[in-house]
């Protein structure tokens, strides 16, 4: 694809601290606010764009429109009360939030989780990853195609498949969305009889429809025109900014916590990490599509091999006693669909030590948003929407 030389130069690595005073005054910059209420900002997120014609010159992102003070709330509530609240942070993959929080508390309290619970957690995580990526695919197609254009077709299809996974979750936990299925030391809901058949049916249905999506979108000429070479986040920039997840892997860095720092039962199964080298929107989409396939393979491998045994430690802890609450600190991280989701917790706070003294959430979406001032200059406004959709930020997780 031919590119205008000065645009190509600007795209290579923009300067986010550009002093606009030195900009040519005859260029007549226009300031455009994208958000906080905009159909394609994936939540309440505001981008202040300085435009020269239609080309973006400078970008200033604003966050904080969904700041709910979760970390402050953590200092007031007990550990058990926090688990359902953490569902609401990254509301597209609530399972990962629960798991990271529960793993941090288990590390703090020194509780060993039985093998069966670890298998079930892995299974739930992989199912959740499929659902999350399906939602991303639908929303991304919507961003590219417009609300009433062709993009909404794929949106409808992706939601049809996502409902299959939500049905499976509803059978297990009773909730479509905010599950509260993890406990400190185990899982709350055991796998019901006949559940594996339903999971197989859902997974098979999704797998047969994936090629259809690729025909719709991934091999579409218009799609390639909109995404190839747009919003290149190379591996070095990702590592400088602390970006993890599909955005990092699309830039050619082979890093995945499931393989590199195994948790749950990922050390017993083989995870094939998908990577790409281009680092543009197309590469990020390709990595996510490969992750859906990989998750389907993992779910197939896991669902028939859930070991027998107890689902919780000695006795699942419902209210950790004050003397049991260790006054140490712990960090636990999981590979959420958006990257490394880490929880750092210092024990021994209020409620006689039953609540954390301090809890810090390391959310992948916040780090991903940091790349926008570097990569957006040189693109047009419509490309900004495509880039924002392709990095897949969840504002509940960014603002906490």
Partner 1 sequence: MAVDESYRTYSHPVYDFMMKVPGLDVMTTTVDKLLSFGSEASLWIFPVATSCCGIEFMALAASRVDADRMGAIVRGSPRHSDVMIVAGTITVKMAPRVKKLWDQMPEPKWAIAVGSCAISGDFYRNIYSVVPGIDTFIPVDVYVPGCPPNPEAMMHGLIRLQEKIRASANGRDVNREARPEAVHHQRLPRLPILGDPARTSELDRQQVASAASLGWWDELNLEQALDSVAKDLADESESEPKV
Site string for partner 1, 378-397 (x = CB under 8 A): -----------------xx-
Burial of 52 (0-12, 13-18, 19+ CB in 10 A): middle
Identify residues 80-139 at the interface with partner 1 (CB under 8 A): 85, 87-88, 91-92, 135, 138-139
What six digits make up the tokens of 31? 């300031």
User: Is residue 163 involved in binding partner 1 (CB under 8 A)?
Assistant: yes
- Provide the minimum distance between the beta carbon of 125 and partner 1 in the complex, in angstroms, as a whole number: 18
Question: Which region, judged by CB under 8 A, interacts with partner 1, from 103-111, 116-124, 149-157, 361-369?
Answer: 149-157
Q: Which is nearer to partner 1, 86 or 105 (CB)?
A: 86
Cis ω before 163 (30° cut-off from 0): no
CA–CA distance, 223 with 292 (Å, rounded to integer): 20
- Counting Cα atoms < 13 Å in the Cβ hemisphere of 276 gives 22
Q: Are the CB atoms for 25 and 52 separated by under 8 Å?
A: no
**The one among 8, 12, 15, 39 contacting partner 1 by CB under 8 A:** 39
The residue among 142, 29, 53 whose CA lies nearest residue 385 is 142
Torsion of CA 142, 170, 127, 74, to 10 degrees: 90
73 binds partner 1 (CB under 8 A): yes
Give 369's contacts (C-beta < 8 A, 6+ positions apart).
45, 61, 63, 391, 393, 398
344 binds partner 1 (CB under 8 A): no
Q: Is 150 in the site for partner 1 (CB under 8 A)?
A: no
Q: Does 156 bind partner 1 (CB under 8 A)?
A: yes
398 binds partner 1 (CB under 8 A): no
Interacting positions 182-201 with partner 1 (CB under 8 A): none
205 lies in the site for partner 1, by CB under 8 A: no
Q: How far apart are CA 243 and CA 255, in angstroms?
A: 11
Give contact residues for partner 1 (rule: CB under 8 A).
Answer: 36-39, 43-44, 64-69, 72-73, 85, 87-88, 91-92, 135, 138-139, 147, 155-157, 159-160, 162-163, 176-178, 395-396
């Amino acid at each position: 694809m031919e590119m205008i030389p000065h645009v190509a130069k600007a795209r290579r690595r923009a300067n986010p601290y550009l002093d606009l005073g030195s900009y040519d005054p005859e260029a007549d910059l226009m300031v455009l606010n994208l958000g906080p209420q905009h159909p394609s900002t994936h939540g309440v997120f505001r981008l202040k764009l300085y435009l020269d014609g239609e080309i973006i010159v400078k970008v200033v992102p604003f966050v904080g429109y969904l700041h709910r003070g979760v970390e402050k709330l953590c200092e007031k509530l007990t550990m058990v009360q926090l688990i359902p609240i953490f569902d609401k942070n990254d509301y597209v993959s609530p399972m990962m939030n629960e798991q990271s929080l529960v793993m941090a508390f288990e590390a703090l309290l020194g509780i060993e989780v039985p093998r069966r619970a670890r298998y079930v957690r892995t299974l739930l995580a992989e199912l959740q990853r499929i659902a999350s990526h399906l939602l991303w695919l639908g929303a991304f197609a919507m961003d590219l195609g417009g609300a009433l254009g062709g993009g909404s077709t794929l949106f409808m299809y992706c939601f049809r498949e996502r409902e299959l996974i939500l049905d499976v979750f509803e059978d297990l936990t009773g909730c479509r969305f905010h599950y509260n299925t993890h406990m400190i030391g185990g899982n709350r809901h055991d796998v019901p009889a006949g559940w594996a058949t339903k999971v197989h049916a859902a997974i098979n249905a999704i797998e047969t429809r994936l090629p259809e999506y690729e025909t719709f979108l991934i091999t579409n000429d218009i799609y390639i025109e909109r995404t190839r070479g747009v919003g290149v986040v190379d591996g070095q920039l990702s590592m400088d900014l602390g970006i993890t997840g599909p955005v990092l892997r699309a830039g050619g860095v082979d890093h995945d916590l499931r393989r590199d720092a195994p948790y749950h039962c990922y050390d017993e199964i083989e995870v094939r990490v998908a990577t790409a080298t281009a680092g543009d929107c197309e590469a990020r989409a390709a990595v996510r599509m490969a992750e859906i396939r990989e998750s389907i393979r993992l779910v197939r491998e896991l669902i028939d091999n859930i070991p027998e045994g107890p689902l919780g430690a000695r006795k699942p802890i419902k209210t950790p006693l004050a003397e049991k609450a260790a006054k140490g600190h712990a960090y636990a991280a999981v590979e959420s669909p958006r990257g490394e989701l880490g929880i750092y917790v210092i024990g021994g706070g209020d409620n006689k030590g039953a609540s954390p003294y301090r809890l810090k959430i390391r959310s992948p979406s916040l780090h991903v948003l940091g790349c926008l001032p570097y990569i957006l200059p040189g693109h047009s406004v419509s490309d900004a929407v495509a880039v924002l959709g392709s990095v897949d930020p969840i504002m509940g997780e960014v603002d906490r």
